């Protein structure tokens, strides 16, 4: 079992957890921390699929970049979603708006409850 050490000032907890999660199919992962460092212990599930230190470092760097991009673009994504949802709402025009009682009065049960073959048959 190897133990890797990462500075808490450089990497976020979220990036560390996401990077570790990406290797749970190939290794048993244990995470720990103190005031200055995160500690990652990796124990390969299969001896043939050993995870290198460089591979884990690349993954934690990629996850850190993804997290930073997420934080920087969060507001614009929320704005775009709100705009898309707001423009998809269809409000009826006042002249076309009918109350429930008016809709019920337009239909007669005799017209609706006819056998199709009697009418078109």
Task: Dihedral sign for Cα 57, 59, 62, 67, please.
Answer: negative
What is the domain partition of the chain in residue ranges?
A: 2-87
Whether the model pTM is above 0.85? no
Binned average pLDDT, 10 residues per bin, the chain of 121 residues: 91 95 95 96 90 94 96 95 84 59 63 77 68
């Amino acid at each position: 079992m190897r133990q890797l050490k990462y500075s808490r000032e450089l990497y976020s907890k979220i990036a560390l957890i996401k990077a570790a999660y990406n290797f749970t199919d190939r290794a048993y992962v244990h995470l720990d921390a103190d005031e200055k460092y995160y500690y990652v212990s990796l124990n390969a599930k299969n001896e043939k699929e050993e995870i290198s230190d460089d591979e884990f470092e690349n993954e934690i760097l990629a996850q850190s970049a993804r997290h930073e991009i997420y934080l920087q673009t969060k507001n614009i994504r929320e704005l775009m979603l709100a705009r898309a949802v707001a423009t998809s709402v269809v409000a009826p025009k006042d002249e076309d708006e009918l109350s429930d009682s008016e809709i019920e009065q337009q239909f007669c049960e005799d017209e609706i409850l006819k056998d199709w073959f009697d009418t078109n048959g």
